[in-house]
Amino acid sequence: MRRSDVTPKSVYLRRREFLKLGAGSALALSLPAYARAKVEHGPKLAGVTVNPAFALPEEKKNSFEDITTYNNFYELGTDKSDPSENAAKLQTRPWTLSVEGEVGKPKKWDIEEILKAFPVEERVYRLRCVEAWSMVIPWDGFPLADFLKKHEPTSRAKYVAFETVVQAQMPGVKGFAGIPFPYVEGLRIDEATHPLTLLAVGLYGETLPNQDGAPIRLVVPWKYGFKSAKSLVRIRLQETQPPTTWSQYAPGEYGFYANVNPEVDHPRWTQSRERRIGELLRRKTTMFNGYPEVASLYAGMDLRKFY
Amino acid sequence: MKKALVPAAFAACCLPLLWLGLQLALGGLGANPIEALQDDLGYTAFVLLALTLACTPAQKLLGWNWPIRIRKLLGDFCFFYASLHLLTYAVLDQGFDFGAIATDVLKHKFIFLGMATWLLLLPLAVTSTQGWQRRLGFRRWKRLHRVVYLAGGLASFHFLLRFKTPRLETIAWMGTIAVLLLIRAIDAARRRARMVQSS
């Protein structure tokens, strides 16, 4: 008897469908499917150097699959698996990023121009979501400070506002996502120019996957993940504190600062512990997500009030 | 046919558990399988609670008698899945730290609503047998089991608060529970009016 006599390969490959059918009950079928979309690898980024100051050797990096199939990107859908399944609905070329407001040299960048102008380095950062899960991600990018400096911010540039793309074909934009679009975020200028704050264009040495905020996104590792706006189309420097999507949607649950803080709970759940993706039990959350070097930015501030 | 109803319903109620066990073993629950497991157990318990609440309206409005025959089974399985849901929270989220659980329950209304629902279901599951029906007397037993209406309401809000933004699906489920409770309220009001008329 040959192996092919037992089960035709085409049928074998569809075994999950048969299992689903076999389960039969409407109840079981109505449970959401978590089967991961096939992970597409992007082109390798050229000339990435590893920055040893941010190698984070004590942390185990999450897999490319974890990082690209478990995402919050409401424009592409509200379930964690939606962004990877709908990744193709985001068009990343042509792409313009405008820098405007309180700058001496405003500029509309083409993304290809940015990729040529700034040397990209790898930095391994912890990412802590406000939903109490976390990952360790090797980002490829460059400091936002270097990028902003090119535009010569004026003395009135006290805050930086970020805007995420809105494209009509994105399923969350068409449907019911709960929050308004465009997604907007903001930082104080000293937060934006802190050496940790990154503009990422890749991860694991590859072009940033769409579901992770291609082609260019913000990464602020000491703040909850929602501060790190994805797929940026506009960066505006201004004198006043910009509105931010989640803090406007639910001011009692999300603040402008949104620093990772185990002492200040979300009204619905505790922030003192988190589940590192890939681990069974929860671990303790650390202040500023384990980046104590940012503490001086908030000297004298009551972080219970400015959460 | 009649004899097959209860075993068939029993088998159907086991399927979500088998499905989840299989998915867990095959790695089909995604990057955060614990969260998926916890969500799905809670969702299954919620759907079974809605089905339990649908049995009486199905009889009154559609004239179906068979759902009443599996109502106890549906209720018991609802409690079974709710208990597994609670267990994943107590063990995997809180590491059986009762102090942390107590703080969490009292501090966060989302957690409070879930725990309150389970605590309301507990005495109903214990007294769901015919023996307890006899021991309590049918009237008192029936009055006790009306607690399930409150459990349905609390579970709806617990489900709603699970997500950062309200989901259409959750709102639809809340509406379903609301309609099932409303049918009873209207029925009770009618009966009361009839009693007033006849007296």
Please list every residue in chain A whose beta carbon sits closer than 8 Å to the beta carbon of residue B45. Answer: none
Interface test with A, best of B18, B164, B165 (most A CBs within 10 A): B164
pLDDT (0 to 100) of residue A176:
87
Does residue A306 sit within a domain?
no
Its pTM stands at 0.90
Instruction: Look at residue A225 and tell me whether its pLDDT is greater than 80.
Output: yes
Residue-wise pLDDT tens digits, A183-221: 999 999 999 999 999 999 999 999 999 999 999 999 999
Alpha carbon of B117: minimum distance to chain A alpha carbons (Å): 16
Q: Which of A30, A65, A133 sits opposite B32 (nearest CB)?
A: A133
**Average pLDDT over chain B, rounded to whole?**
95
3-class secondary structure, A225: helix
Residue B145: band (very low, low, confident or very high) from pLDDT cuts 50, 70, 90: very high
Q: How many CB pairs under 8 A join A and B?
A: 106
pLDDT (0 to 100) of residue B42:
98
Alpha carbon of B89: minimum distance to chain A alpha carbons (Å): 10
| Residue B125 backbone zone (phi > 0: left; psi -120 to 50: alpha; other: beta) | alpha
Domains held by chain A: number: 1
Please list every residue in chain A whose beta carbon sits closer than 8 Å to the beta carbon of residue B15. Answer: 23-25, 27-28
Which residue in A218, A161, A217, A224 sits closest to A187, CA to CA?
A161
- Interface confidence, given as ipTM, is 0.91
pLDDT (0 to 100) of residue A28:
57
Residue-wise pLDDT tens digits, B114-128: 999 999 999 999 999
Residue A32: band (very low, low, confident or very high) from pLDDT cuts 50, 70, 90: low
Does residue A27 sit within a domain?
no
Rounded Cα–Cα distance for residues B97 and A58 (Å): 27
Q: How many CB atoms lie within 10 A of CB A140?
A: 22
**CB interface of B with A, residues 88-107, below 8 Å:** 92-95, 103-104, 107
Does residue A201 sit within a domain?
yes
Q: Which of A30, A80, A266 sits opposite B30 (nearest CB)?
A: A80
Cα end-to-end span (Å), chain A:
67
Does residue A22 sit within a domain?
no
**Average pLDDT over chain A, rounded to whole?**
91
Does residue A124 sit within a domain?
yes
Q: Determine the average pLDDT of the residues in B21-31.
A: 94
Does residue A46 sit within a domain?
yes
pLDDT (0 to 100) of residue A15:
41
Instruction: Look at residue A130 and tell me whether its pLDDT is greater than 80.
Output: yes
pLDDT (0 to 100) of residue A16:
40
Q: Are A128 and A111 in contact (CB under 8 A)?
A: no
Residue A6: band (very low, low, confident or very high) from pLDDT cuts 50, 70, 90: very low
Residue A175: band (very low, low, confident or very high) from pLDDT cuts 50, 70, 90: confident
**CB interface of B with A, residues 120-159, below 8 Å:** none
Residue B183: band (very low, low, confident or very high) from pLDDT cuts 50, 70, 90: very high
Backbone angles phi, psi at A292, to 5 degrees: -65, -20
pLDDT (0 to 100) of residue A20:
36
pLDDT (0 to 100) of residue A68:
97
Rounded Cα–Cα distance for residues B48 and B73 (Å): 10
Does residue A20 sit within a domain?
no
Does residue A21 sit within a domain?
no
Instruction: Look at residue A11 and tell me whether its pLDDT is greater than 80.
Output: no
| CATH number of the structural domain spanning residue A99 | 3.90.420.10
Interface test with A, best of B165, B167, B169, B170 (most A CBs within 10 A): B165
Q: Determine the average pLDDT of the residues in A110-117.
A: 97
Which one has a higher pLDDT value, A42 or A159?
A: A159
pLDDT (0 to 100) of residue A179:
96
| Residue B6 backbone zone (phi > 0: left; psi -120 to 50: alpha; other: beta) | alpha
pLDDT (0 to 100) of residue A23:
34
Instruction: Look at residue B195 and tell me whether its pLDDT is greater than 80.
Output: yes
Q: Are A259 and A288 in contact (CB under 8 A)?
A: yes
For A121, the domain range is 32-298
Token readout for A21 is 């059918």
Residue B85: band (very low, low, confident or very high) from pLDDT cuts 50, 70, 90: very high
Residue type, A131: E
Instruction: Look at residue A182 and tell me whether its pLDDT is greater than 90.
Output: yes
Q: Determine the average pLDDT of the residues in B19-29.
A: 94
Rounded Cα–Cα distance for residues A82 and A32 (Å): 11
**CB interface of B with A, residues 32-51, below 8 Å:** 32-36, 39-40, 43-44, 47-48
Helix or strand (DSSP H, E) at B44: helix B33-62
pLDDT (0 to 100) of residue A17:
39
Query: Cβ A66–B31 below 8 Å, yes or no?
Result: yes
Distance of CA A13 to the CA centre of its chain: 33
Instruction: Look at residue B130 and tell me whether its pLDDT is greater than 90.
Output: yes
Question: H helices within chain A, ranges in order?
Answer: 3-6, 9-13, 15-23, 26-30, 64-69, 82-85, 111-117, 144-149, 171-174, 189-192, 245-249
Which DSSP state fits A103?
B
Alpha carbon of B127: minimum distance to chain A alpha carbons (Å): 26
Residue-wise pLDDT tens digits, A39-68: 789 899 999 999 999 999 999 999 999 999
Q: Which of A25, A30, A69 sits opposite B12 (nearest CB)?
A: A25
pLDDT > 90 in chain B, percent: 95
Instruction: Look at residue A4 and tell me whether its pLDDT is greater than 70.
Output: no
pLDDT (0 to 100) of residue B197:
82
